[in-house]
Structure 1
């Protein structure tokens, strides 16, 4: 499997299963996609106002919802039913994920810092390791790294005319990323950190 970032705006996702796992997956996708959760038993939370819940028997409505969806999530507590969901998704040419195994795509553990995203996956081998890695990386990747993305974006625009050689420009920008003083200062005094970065640009130029 290859890691990809996909824009799901306007896409449709059906989640079969209204338990904790199904709802967690639904909440992940509803950030961009239209999501329907199908299950006979659903505990509706007020925070899930953006989700659409359909209380009905999955087996009787399976094909209808798979036809409707672009992505299919099998998240019931019945492995046999999950098998059926995935088999039908394959037969209809739909991308699918299953909570109790590996589908045609995986949902990674995610660290979202606004300006960048880190995705972690063990390819279904160990969710516990994915969770542990996420916790460790969250300690290392603080908000200053998000501000560094903002700084780099600004500098790329501002120095394009000053440093016309692309390789030299990349070298200077990389040296700013690696400057621990500038990185640590970003959260406390962004403008001062930017001035130091521009001084580094001038020296590099």
Structure 2
């Protein structure tokens, strides 16, 4: 029985270039592949039958596809594993191999066979808001996601991207350490910059840097 009181440590993973193995080829596996693909891993799908979309991805070279059932050894080199099958035997075998190899693993809808769970996510460019109830109430997590989506308009993507560019300039040009730079970062965050972007303004990082560095005492 799943323990929905178990705490999970929130973390963001860099999957760029890492091996992701998906066992299963149905609609759930397709959704997992589509989501994972946004984060740059090398995806390998293992399933005797696949959705048309997965077949198209394989034909285009976007993913590797082994059209057969899972066999022990398929997780060699994997960093992250997702198992989306309706076979308890396969689910447990995949989980066991993942544990032995030190892979992080998610067996869809079987919390006791998961070393990680996937939150509801709102993304605006590099800004990500992850929401989880630890598996206890997925519907609530989805409702919270919709609530957050309403309050994070498209301007947030441009805003956060711009702040990243400004931060790079500050780190390069403003001498000293955190103590000297923190007031500047706070001044920018407390300004009306986000509202200006929402109203259609498109300031450059150089313009923002000049504006706020010039205001420093």
TM-score of the alignment, normalized to the shorter chain, above 0.5: yes
Q: 1:176 touches 1:197 (CA, 8 Å); kept in 2?
A: no
Shift of 1:70: 2.6
Q: 1:66 touches 1:89 (CA, 8 Å); kept in 2?
A: yes
- Equivalent position of 1:52 in the other structure: 64
Cα 1:89–1:200 shift into 2, 3 Å: closer
- Equivalent position of 1:97 in the other structure: 106
Structure 1 residue ranges, 4+ long, deviating more than 3 angstroms after superposition: 153-156, 158-169, 192-204
Q: Does 1:134 align with 2:141?
A: no
TM-score (norm 1): 0.80
* Counterpart-to-counterpart distance in 1, 2:104 and 2:56: 27
Q: 1:182 touches 1:197 (CA, 8 Å); kept in 2?
A: no
- Equivalent position of 2:91 in the other structure: 82
Q: Does 1:20 align with 2:27?
A: yes
Cα 1:90–1:43 shift into 2, 3 Å: same
Cα 1:170–1:73 shift into 2, 3 Å: same
Q: More relative contact order in 1 or in 2 (CA 8 Å, sep 6+)?
A: 2
Shift of 1:166: 4.4
Provide the aligned C-alpha RMSD in A. 2.9
Shift of 1:186: 1.1
1:1-205 counterparts in 2 under 5 A?
A: 1-31=8-38, 32-45=40-53, 48=57, 49=60, 50-58=62-70, 61=71, 63-102=72-111, 103-156=114-167, 157=169, 166-167=178-179, 169-179=181-191, 181-187=192-198, 188-191=200-203, 199=211, 201-205=213-217
* Counterpart-to-counterpart distance in 1, 2:45 and 2:136: 26
